[in-house]
Amino acid sequence: MNSYNLTHLRALEAEAIYCLREVAAQFENPALLFSGGKDSIVMAYLAKKAFYPGRIPFPLVHVDTGHNFPETIAFRDKFVKDINANLIVGSVQQSIDEGKVVEEKGFNASRNALQTVTLLETIESNKFDAALGGGRRDEEKARAKERFFSHRDDFGQWDPKNQRPELWSLYNGRKHMGEHFRVFPISNWTEMDIWQYILMENIDIPSIYFAHEREVFVRDGVIYGNSDFINRRETETVEKRVVRFRTIGDMTCTGAVDSDASTLADIINEVAAARTTERGTRADDKRSEAAMEDRKKQGYF
């Protein structure tokens, strides 16, 4: 009798594909949130595998702050074209122009939190009843509280104390009219799993993840890419450093790390030796102790 053993990456892949197929089976109009970052790229790749040889049976949704890294937007457009997917873009700039949100002012102004309103409007206007996301439990303590199928009320809000049990991988997608679910098929993956899977499957990712020379400045320990979107103080000087990004978000809140990792193998070695958390470079998580949980309760990713 032949033995059948899965590596830990194949076991995680199988779990995620099962979850994706459950979403397709239980919901009428799901969508996959796609930022162009490594986690959402892996999500889209898994969705392609889950429904092969057919197309991914739901659209990709990007909430564009207008302050994204240009490399990420270029990669997004190429990736969507290559996999022949339907892309829906929610625009934070449009929400600002329509007076639905007010842009922050000052040196620490960011559009990151404004994404919540645009995201909820995009979900409501397209009548999505499930939004698949690339959130992982190891990223941040608020995300560690999420279930695979995470309920949102009629206002898109999340109540961490009111979640449904998930026993024996049984996912409960029942909801009332107007409510929706956020679904996280790669909840059990770690940052290391993501990089090892990208290497194993030879998945293309934006160049911004690899070490490159960039104009940066440092504020409160965060290395920001120099950008017209960020108000710099006179004391903050721009310099050229070789850096890379561990996460990709809005330019106004996403920091880089000093690195010489130019290959996937280098990145894996760097992550294995890292003494800081993946989101330790994110200024949006430093606003308060419960910054992520507060945003998620309001409907954030």
For the chain, give me the number of helices (H) and strands (E)? 9, 10
Give the whole-angstrom CA distance, residue 71 versus residue 68: 8
Q: Give the pair of three-digit tokens for residue 255.
A: 């920091």
Window from 27-31, 34-38, 181-185, 228-232 with minimum mean pLDDT: 228-232
Is residue 283 over pLDDT 70?
no
Q: What pTM did the predictor assign?
A: 0.91
Question: In the structure, what pLDDT confidence band is assigned to residue 103 with cuts at 50, 70 and 90?
Answer: confident
Instruction: Compare 122 and 156 and report the one with higher pLDDT.
Output: 122
Question: In the structure, what pLDDT confidence band is assigned to residue 267 with cuts at 50, 70 and 90?
Answer: very high
Q: How far is CA 119 from CA 34, 42, 122, 192, 244, in A?
A: 12, 21, 5, 28, 28
Is residue 296 over pLDDT 90?
no
Strand 149-152 relative to strand 180-183, pairing:
antiparallel
What pLDDT shows up at residue 1? 63
Window from 31-40, 121-130, 276-285 with minimum mean pLDDT: 276-285
What pLDDT shows up at residue 286? 63
- Asked whether 26 and 171 are in contact (CB, 8 A), the reply is yes
Window from 159-168, 210-219, 247-256, 283-292 with minimum mean pLDDT: 283-292
What pLDDT shows up at residue 279? 73
What does the pLDDT average to over 174-197? 94
Q: If you ran DSSP here, which 8-state letter would residue 186 be given? A: T
| pLDDT, the chain, mean | 90
With a CB cutoff of 8 Å and minimum separation 6, the contacts of 103 are: 96, 109, 111, 114
What pLDDT shows up at residue 290? 66
Looking at this protein, which amino acid is placed at residue 74? A
Q: How far is CA 283 from CA 226, 286, 291, in A?
A: 15, 5, 10
What pLDDT shows up at residue 297? 73
Alpha carbon of residue 200 to chain centroid: 21
Question: In the structure, what pLDDT confidence band is assigned to residue 112 with cuts at 50, 70 and 90?
Answer: confident
Is residue 291 over pLDDT 70?
no
